[in-house]
Structure 1
Amino acid sequence: MASYDLSAFDRRFEAISLVGAIEQQSPFTLNVGFWLRDPNQFVQWPQPTASHPRQDFLWEQTCFEIFIGVHNEDFYREINLSPSQAWQAYQFEEYRYPEDMPPKAAYDIELNQLKRTHYGMNVSIDLTEFMLLHKLKWSDIYIGLSAVLKTTQGDHFYAMQHSSPNADFHNKRDWLHQF
């Protein structure tokens, strides 16, 4: 398991710390955990939903995100995970394209488990169809972790790193995990 300190785009905001951990499990399962430290309880949590529905626009509230890139390819996937237990996966052909809003859903990724915990969130994602369709091995894939945190102090954007002048989770240079 590899872990990463996710940093706030606004470097002056130090009230919340966030760590993401990535683990490959079984031939096609990806497990990710997000550990959030919020001693002042600034984070605004969305209301829980039942049965893990696919839902768009999750980033408009507190939302954790996983980006899956493929070495030497333009296409990628974005997975949005809400503490409400709703989720969605999107497919892109290249950087933010197509520009549809909401983006086109990706049905080659499935949810095994999504659970809000007292420290953040755990998720298990099934990449079987995505990896078999594109003939991928784990070494072909790289991962970016990010989060939109709605707080009483405003919106804050966390990622493995921020190399753009604005918070931009779609910037592949910031997706640091490789298998």
Structure 2
Amino acid sequence: MASYELSAFDRRFQSISLVAAIEQQSPYTLNIGYWLRDPNQLMQWPELVPDYPRQDFLWEHTCFEIFIGVQGEDFYREINLSPSQAWQAYQFEEYRYPEDMPPQAADDIELNQLKRTHYGLNVSLDLTEFMLKHKLQWSDLFLGLTAVLKTSQGEQYYAMQHSSPNADFHNKRDWLHQF
């Protein structure tokens, strides 16, 4: 299991710390946990919804995200995970393309489990169809872990690293996890 301390784009914002851990489960299951420390209780949490629906525009509220890139390829997936327990997966052919809003849904990634916890969020994803369709091994993939946190002090953008002048979760340079 690999873990990463995600950093806020606004370096002055130190009130919340966020750690994420990645665990691959053979042959095609990916487990990720997000642990949030918010001693001043600044977080704004959405209400829970039943049945784990797919919903668009989750990034407009508190949302944890996973970006899945493929070595040597332009296409990628974006998975949005709300603490409300709603989720969505999107497909892109290349950097932010197509530019549809909402983006095109990806039906080749399935949700096994999504659970809001007292410390953050746990998710288990089934990548079977995505990996088989593109003939991928774990070593072909690299991941970016990010979060949009709605707080009483405004939106905060967390990522493994921020190498762009603006918060840009689609920047593959910032997707640091390799299997």
Q: Does the pair score TM above 0.5?
A: yes
Number of the residue aligned with 1:74 = 74
Structure 1 letter corresponding to 2:167? A
Number of the residue aligned with 1:128 = 128
Instruction: Tell me how far 1:174 sits from its aligned partner.
Output: 0.1
Alignment of 1:50-89 (within 5 A): 50-89=50-89
CA deviation map 1:89-136 (0-9, x unaligned): 000000000000000000000000000001100000000000000000
Number of the residue aligned with 2:117 = 117
Root mean square deviation, CA, Å = 0.3
CA deviation map 1:46-79 (0-9, x unaligned): 1110000000000000000000000000000000
Give SS of 1:59's match. helix
**Could you tell me how far apart the structure 1 residues matched to 2:70 and 2:138 are?**
10
Number of the residue aligned with 1:33 = 33
Give SS of 2:79's match. strand
Percent identical among aligned pairs is: 82
Alignment of 1:5-24 (within 5 A): 5-24=5-24
Structure 2 letter corresponding to 1:8? A
Number of the residue aligned with 2:99 = 99
**Could you tell me how far apart the structure 2 residues matched to 1:43 and 1:103 are?**
27
**Could you tell me how far apart the structure 2 residues matched to 1:77 and 1:30 are?**
14
**Could you tell me how far apart the structure 1 residues matched to 2:146 and 2:40 are?**
21
**Could you tell me how far apart the structure 1 residues matched to 2:82 and 2:26 are?**
24
Structure 1 letter corresponding to 2:72? N
After the TM superposition, which parts of structure 1 deviate over 2 Å for at least 4 consecutive aligned residues?
none
Structure 1 letter corresponding to 2:45? W
Give SS of 1:139's match. helix
**Could you tell me how far apart the structure 2 residues matched to 1:165 and 1:177 are?**
22
TM-score (norm 1): 1.00
CA deviation map 1:8-45 (0-9, x unaligned): 00000000000010000120000000000000010100
**Could you tell me how far apart the structure 1 residues matched to 2:72 and 2:141 are?**
10
Instruction: Tell me how far 1:178 sits from its aligned partner.
Output: 0.1
**Could you tell me how far apart the structure 1 residues matched to 2:37 and 2:65 are?**
17
**Could you tell me how far apart the structure 1 residues matched to 2:131 and 2:139 are?**
11
TM-score (norm 2): 1.00
